[in-house]
Structure 1
Amino acid sequence: MSLLNSPVERSKLGLHTIEQYEPLIGSAAAERIGLKADRVRAMRIAHVSSTFYGGGVTELLTPLTLMMNAAGIETDWHLIQGTPGFFGCTKKLHNTLQGENLTWSEAERTIYEEVVFENATRLHLDECDAIIVHDPQPLPLISHFPHREAPWLWQCHVDLSSPFAPVWSYLRTFIEKYDAAVFSLPEYAQDLGIDQHFVSPAIDPFSPKNGELSDKEIGKFLANYKIPTDLPLVVQISRFDRWKDPLGVIDAFRKARKQADCRLVLIGNNASDDPESQVIFESLQSSIDEGIIVLAVDDPVLVNALQRKATVVLQKSIREGFGLTVTEAMWKGAVVIGGDVGGIRHQIKNECNGFLVKTPGEAAERIVQVLKNPKLREQLGSRAKESVRENFLMSRLLEDWLDLMVEHGRLGK
């Protein structure tokens, strides 16, 4: 028996049990999810991704794998390793999936496939009842397990509304070897010869990034990073990626502060599988003035404190698979002004629980509106938190995956 199949050991993971969610989702929902977990408790599941650090996939898999294990479902999480050249290639794949027209050379194809093959020789997945592979980095793994019996599912977390056709055709040769593909939104559906499912991401409301903080704790963490609070804070938190439009954010802020005093804080991290992030971070340094703070840090409590203290939270993406930072901020009752793209449109209902914008000028207008109207901030923030409670908590994501395991897992075959 696995250690985590022991009720005593599972109880020690109390921070990741479905019972903890019951006050938020209700006893009927908690009981329903528990019964579904009972159906697949004998399964062993493996997730495969490219990094344990930085980005939305990590934010999802950390609590999801812990919750599955706490429910008695033996769940592994494997990391593929790669060279800087490999991650340069996979970042290009990421960008082409989001619509950028880039050449994909034979040399890049060789690097990509050889590194994935090397990882395949180190992975032992034969005893698993389901394997879930995340994003393009480990996608070709399936080619190196020809005698597989368990189902393989590929989950793509990026905006697939208009992938670059030549590269998509290449990746499709691997994708269609899987039993099913999982996308964040129905509009990312593709013409594939396999089943497609749609699972929206979610957040862990009890994590250090999302748990409650007192005003004293918020002040302490902001002071530790020398972030002044003498002016209202306008904040964007996301990895340093041009798809997040950091220059557009700065432009919007500079327009807005002509009409209302405020300070901009841009916080991001440099994920280990994203070689462009450090370059973008360094390029932003030339845009800094006395009203703009740009920090590359990985401190979830600082993120929590900023989202709670911010008068406005921005996520002015120009492409976005979903946008977990939007969900995180909304959970804290923040007013979020987001780009009118991808998954952000499924979280923010314009003028109901936040605002959707297309240009820096539109973002600036909304920033000023929110800064000058405390009552509006309170109304939008309250609705934002409730929409997350209803739709985007980790308990719902766990239930979605339990349903998929019943349908596609070895026990469901």
Structure 2
Amino acid sequence: MLDVVDVGKRSLATYRGVAPDAQLDALSHCAERLRGARCLHLSATPYGGGVSEILRSLVPLYNDLGIVTDWKLIHGDEAFFQVTKRIHNGLQGAPGELTESEKAIYLANSQLNARRLISDSEDYDFIFVHDPQPAALAALSGNRDARWIWRCHIDTSRPNPSFWELLSPYLLDYDAAIFTLPEFIPPALPIRNVRVHAPAIDPLSPKNHPLPEPLARDVLEWIGIRTHRPLVTQVSRFDRWKDPLGVVRAYQRVRPHVPDLQLALVGSLALDDPEGWEVYEELRAATRHDGLIHVLTNLVGVGNIEVNALQARSEVVVQKSLREGFGLVVSEALWKGTPVVGGRTGGIPLQLPEGTGGVLVDTEEECAEALLHLLRQPDEAHLLGERGREHVRQHFLMPRLLLDHLRLLDAMSSARPLPARDIVPSHPSPLSLQGV
């Protein structure tokens, strides 16, 4: 059987006054037509990246609206996740190709996970499959009663043909696909029903919930950050596409002008990302002689609360990605009113329109110039951060993403009606979704 991720209970009503009322009202109406349906989300890891953070908030909200939803994890050995990391990189355009042995590893693990999914004997109406790691399951499980949706979170606009030829035959059995941006839709996609949904953050999660300033300062001092010194932070996986060494070099260009400036590089080491260890070791080697650079991970106790404090108390947050699906950490920082210097790639420009949120850059030199400018112009930086917060409120909070999902499920169930189900009552909190 596949492992089920245990998630807590959430109430959509608690977002009233935080997310736009129009989105909450539309959700309550759309959900009525789907109550009693059964939904599954499949992914590779319960922590360490944007997909897991989204699902941890999204799945409880499905259940709150009466759509019975599970989140399950595929299994895989180290060799499998080495291969899927190569597939991930190849789909984003990295050179190379898989060996026959590596293809066999991907297929064998996918077949094993398909058998485990079948043995679960769950009668799902909708199955979301997140990213390439579990993508073969629609074809291998033989379950054609469910409506299958492939949610691709990465930039597949220019995939390496070798990797795309491996993956695309497995996509024939999907009923729909979701991408972050229209330009991410790959050539010759064998799925006709395609939607574009930007990801979103949960403003009420431990990572994004407001922290009292004294607590935030105490948290930072606890992990070695000196709160009387200025701070620049990048939060991301330890991934070469995030260019953490480029961030270090940009920071080193700024240091002579701001001698007491600190840099925090914060990342999670995830189950499905063995390459992260290599990047982490490279970063440690490159920064070990600079006491103002802090390389922090979940393995030394830096979790959601610590990231929250870092994003809230930094003068500037950096997300200097070379390729990027979306970059949830940009919206996380903006939600806290912190300006962002971001790479001009993927979904980052969507979060940083001109004059809002921060500055887009293409090179290390531009990154350094933008950092120094914002450090020297705190009033301008504050204004950009405040504009960014409102932009996130309107476009990138969890209720909007949930509404996108339910509209897709509603359209799919209209095209192919769901079987009769017992109506599952939702459990709204005393605060009505219709507002007061």
SS in 1 for 2:372: helix
Partner residue of 2:292?
291
Q: 1:205 aligns to what? A: 203
In the other structure, the counterpart of 1:334 is 338
For 1:104 and 1:155, how far apart are their aligned partners in 2?
Answer: 23
Do structure 1's residue 279 and structure 2's residue 278 form an aligned pair?
A: yes
Deviations 1:78-134 (A, max 9, x none): 100100000000000000011101111111111001011111111135510011111
* Secondary structure in 1 matching 2:17: helix
2:150 counterpart of 1:164: no
1:147-189 per-residue CA deviation (whole Å, 9 max, x = no partner) reads 5212111111011121101211221101122111111111112
| CA positional deviation for 1:351 | 3.6
Using the size of structure 1 for normalisation, the TM-score is 0.94
Match of 1:75, SS state, is: strand
One of 190, 197, 211 as aligned partner of 1:193: 190
- Counterpart of 1:398 in structure 2 is 402
Q: Which SS does the other structure have where 2:111 is aligned?
A: helix
3-state SS of the aligned residue for 1:170? Answer: helix
Consecutive unaligned residues of structure 1, counting only runs of 5 or more, are 1-11
In structure 2, stretches of 5+ residues that fail to align are 1-7, 418-436
1:376 is the counterpart of 2:380: yes
Q: Which amino acid aligns with 2:216?
A: I
2:235 to 234, 237, 244: 237
The aligned amino acid for 1:172 is: S
Equivalence for 2:258: 260
Give the C-alpha shift of residue 45 in structure 1: 0.2
C-alpha distance in 1 between matches for 2:264 and 2:380: 22
Q: Which residue of 2 aligns with 1:106?
A: 100
Three-state SS of the structure 1 residue aligned to 2:136 is helix
Shift of 1:410: 7.8
Residue identity in the other structure for 2:50: G
Write the letter of the residue equivalent to 1:333: G
Higher deviation after alignment, 140-149 or 238-247: 140-149
Of structures 1 and 2, the one scoring higher in RCO (CA 8 A, sep 6+) is 2
Distance in 2 (CA, whole Å) between partners of 1:311 and 1:227 is: 13
Question: Per-residue deviation at 1:412?
Answer: 4.8
| Distance in 1 (alpha carbons) for counterparts of 2:346 and 2:327 | 8
Bigger CA drift: 136-145 or 320-329? Answer: 136-145
Query: How many Å separate the matches in 2 of 1:134 and 1:412?
Result: 23
Aligned-pair CA distance for 1:312 = 0.7
What is the letter of the counterpart of residue 214 of structure 2? K
Find the aligned partners of 2:163 and 2:14 in 1 and give their Cα distance: 43
Post-superposition offset of 1:226? 1.5
| The 10-residue stretch of structure 1 (256-265 or 340-349) with the greater mean CA deviation from structure 2 | 256-265
Measured after TM superposition, the shift of residue 259 of structure 1 is 1.7
Q: Percent same amino acid at aligned positions?
A: 43
Distance between the aligned counterparts of 2:412 and 2:171, measured in 1?
A: 16
SS in 1 for 2:16: helix
Q: Compute the displacement of 1:18 (Å).
A: 2.1
Give the one of 5, 10, 30 matched to 2:24: 30
In structure 2, what is the equivalent of residue 5 of structure 1? none
In structure 1, the partner of 2:140 is 144
Deviations 1:32-57 (A, max 9, x none): 21011111112000011001011111
What is the alpha-carbon distance in structure 1 between the residues aligned to residue 215 and residue 60 of structure 2? 27
Q: After the TM superposition, which parts of structure 1 deviate over 6 Å for at least 4 consecutive aligned residues? A: none
Secondary structure of the corresponding residue to residue 119 of structure 1: helix
Contact 2:358 2:381 in 1 (8 A): no
Q: Which residue of 1 aligns with 2:91?
A: 97
- More divergent stretch after superposition (183-192 vs 231-240): 183-192
**SS of corresponding position for 2:57:** helix
1:115 aligns with: 109
Letter in 2 for 1:100: A
Encode CA deviations 1:290-311: one digit per residue, 9 max, x unaligned. Answer: 2211111241000000000000
Read off the aligned partner of 1:36 and give its amino acid letter: C
Match for 1:118: what amino acid? L
Partners of 2:367 and 2:283 in 1: how far apart?
A: 19
Deviations 1:233-280 (A, max 9, x none): 010011100100000000000001122231111111101100000111
Q: What is the one-letter code of the residue matched to 2:43?
A: S
Distance across 2 between alignment mates of 1:372 and 1:341? 26
What do residues 317-336 of structure 1 show as CA deviations (whole Å, max 9, x unaligned)?
A: 00000000111001000110
Q: Matched residue of 2:173: which SS?
A: coil
Identify the residue that residue 213 of structure 2 maps to in structure 1: 215
Would the aligned equivalents of 2:356 and 2:385 in 1 still touch at CA under 8 Å? Answer: no
Does the alignment pair 1:183 with 2:179? yes
Q: Is the 8 A contact 2:235 2:329 kept in 1?
A: yes
Distance 2:393 2:164 in 1: 35
User: 1:139 is paired with a residue of what secondary structure?
Assistant: coil
Match for residue 422 of structure 2? Answer: none
